Structure 1
């Protein structure tokens, strides 16, 4: 992409002959007036020339690809090579942007971004949701966790955006569709890492077990109705079963009541109410010492995973690869399922009743309504040590 000098973009790095460059959202190069220039951008690792352009006078170019690529810049002035530079992040200031994601997004991405920092040896700043800084910063003293107020206090050599990019059909911001890679691995692809789960370190409140009795944590709320366990008897039967086995059942959702006015969801009957807007580090303490956690495709399930809890995840809306691996994943393939990861379906986040195939019919949300208590019970019974309290 070529840009005019009128855009007044100031690049952070200085080269010879008045050339400026950086790797802020791809590779950018600016050349001054007074010469005939050629600018070439090459992917070193694939040996692919991604861009080549002649510029008469001043101008700026920017690569189409904005995710991590080890670019090589070559600039010629009046036919002679005057500058070449290969992207090298070691000891450089690098900004990784994640602040638009929710709790689960951050937990999925921070582990990937931290591995990227270790791989390249850069001086990193992570732009995150300000409410989540306390969950991570003491666990990564070598990484600066910041909110938007602190972004402009230094000159960055490179910037990478680890976010969900809806409608990026040209793969400008990501090398593949996030629906195919899943939330768990999309950050790895954007940052050029081998795709695998990378659990982040988090801060957990001290104090040990919050209750002496064996307990199970649950999280029934979610960011959309499609993510709820919509089986009308599911939570009731599950909580009764767990209590019969000798466990306290503790609900640690932020909201006791949530959902749209016409489809309100409340705390499951029979659960101990520990809901409320409490610090996530306190939630992590509850999860760390729980026998296990039962939840949906939600931020609390991701937090439970990061805290080291065994996670029983109930979700028909997402494919299992969308989240971290757990051997206690529950999905029913005999009903409609997996639309969140269908590349032919665009998410409509503003619609609380989003159900692309069956909205307004008796099959609406069957992906989770069709998950029975019996199926969840069988997953729980595979957890080592489960049921020993009642024997």
Structure 2
């Protein structure tokens, strides 16, 4: 009981009972009685937990994602207290701060729908850099970061994060590799599995350049996500320029990657790299003819901005990201290991290639995506190559 003694449950029931829905359903009972505690999932009519407790004690559900719990407590054999989880007008915290740009964009729309559905007073704990991108778009939601940890007494707390190795499905109802980044937040929050595009803040101003242009993002969080075709970007940029488009690289980093595999801005692209405010990036994207990139945060940002997205990725399955008709994958080479439930992902290994690491087939999932395949996909975009004075 020593660890449980340190836990403060935020809600008070009768007779010294305490409870809340922070990190699952938690119930504490005091000394002086023989208690029995039952936790039930009302939506499936499933008893998830039942235990007798002689004297003081605390119980906590195994399930930590959203469940409409019913708490029933008996005291000395008689029903004493019942409470159903109801988030309306309650203080609720949703944690997303460990995710990157793409994760936040995949999850914020899900979390905002959750708030609307339940009518709760929500705080979103996010990466500090993301606050300017969302805060003004959702004035009814409080966005906080690690520097703003208040002493609010939350009725419930849900974590929308990627949980590696959660084989018992404690933090998520199913394996995120099966659901994809686009739907996992919905499952954790008890919503129907569908994409929910978030609103984003756009920096005021006119289009950044008069000429028609295409934005690209060549960098990624790991080498497995890069377009590793050695001539890919060079040939693509030359092709786009021949069609009359400026090609603008808006990556955060001009140079990135591990020291033995440095990746630089693609040759021929206009350099607009740098740690720019995200609303500025939205303005660039909203005026672009389309965006070409990998499975990265910028592709998600382009989707949120309403820009046509050409996504080059053999590492992930198409369902992992949002739907775009311009999704490029080559099924003739190794592909989709990021969503293979038989593979343990190692996000801290920049050379992660679970099936072919150290062989001539390493990263063939993207090396095998040709310029021709990308060119053919881009040519399917309505209006491509038909520039007018109004563009």
Q: Does the CA-based 8 Å contact 1:216-1:249 persist in structure 2?
A: yes
- The 3 A distance-change label for structure 1 pair 78 and 159 is same
Structure 2 match to 1:332: 330
Question: 2:4·2:58 contact (CA, 8 Å) conserved in 1?
Answer: no
The superposition leaves residues 33-71 of structure 1 with CA deviations (integer Å, 9 ceiling, x where unpaired) of 000000000000000000000000000000000000000
Q: Does the 8 Å CA contact 1:4/1:60 hold for their aligned counterparts?
A: no
What does residue range 213-292 of structure 1 map to in structure 2 within 5 Å?
213-292=211-290
Q: Contact (CA 8 Å) 1:255, 1:275: kept in 2 or not?
A: yes
Partner of 2:173: 175
- The separation in 1 between residues aligned to 2:4 and 2:300, in whole angstroms, is 45
| Cα pair distance change 1:279/1:78, threshold 3 Å | same
* Structure 2 unaligned blocks of 5 or more: none
What is the Cα deviation at residue 131 of structure 1? 1.2
Distance apart, 1:4 and its partner CA: 5.8
Superposed CA RMSD in Å reads 1.2
3-state DSSP of counterpart to 1:95: strand
Aligned mates of 2:296, 2:348 — CA distance in 1: 17
- Cα distance in 1 for partners of 2:30, 2:135 equals 41
Q: Distance in 2 between matches of 1:142 and 1:243?
A: 44
TM-score (norm 1): 0.98
1:342 to 334, 340, 343: 340
The answer for the alignment partner of 1:50 in structure 2 is: 48
C-alpha distance after superposition, 1:284-327 (max 9, x if no partner): 11001100000000000001101110000000000000000000
Secondary structure at 1:149 match in 2: coil
Tell me, yes or no, if the aligned pair for 2:127 and 2:145 is still in contact at 8 Å.
yes
Superposition pairs of residues 33-182 of structure 1, within 5 angstroms: 33-182=31-180
Matched with 1:298 is: 296
User: How far apart are residue 153 of structure 1 and its match?
Assistant: 2.7
Instruction: Tell me if 1:18 matches 2:16.
Output: yes
Out of 364, 372, 375, the position equivalent to 2:373 is 375
* Residues 68-126 of structure 1, C-alpha deviations (whole Å, 9 max, x = no match): 00000000100111100000000000000000000000000000000000010000000
| Shift >2 Å, 4+ stretches | 3-8, 148-153
Residues 5, 59 of structure 1: 8 Å contact kept: no
Three-state SS of the structure 1 residue aligned to 2:80 is: strand
Deviation, structure 1 residue 158: 0.1
Distance 1:142 1:387 in 2: 43
Residue 350 of structure 1: how far off its partner (Å) = 1.8
Question: Alignment partner of 1:151: what SS?
Answer: coil
SS in 1 for 2:234: helix
* SS of equivalent to 1:148: coil
Separation in 1, partners of 2:178, 2:66: 19
In the other structure, the counterpart of 2:6 is: 8
2:205 counterpart residue number = 207
* Equivalenced residues, count: 389
| Cα distance, 1:136–1:80 mapped onto 2, change above 3 Å | same
On the 8 A contact 1:5/1:60 being kept in 2, the answer is: no
List gaps (5 residues or longer) in structure 1.
none
Partner Cα separation in structure 1 for residue 346 and residue 37 of structure 2: 41
The alpha-carbon deviation at position 10 of structure 1 amounts to 1.2
What is the deviation of 1:6?
Answer: 5.2
SS at match of 2:319: helix
Superposed CA deviations along residues 161-191 of structure 1, whole A, max 9, x for unmatched, are 0000000000000000000000000000000
Q: Normalized against structure 2, the TM-score is what?
A: 0.98
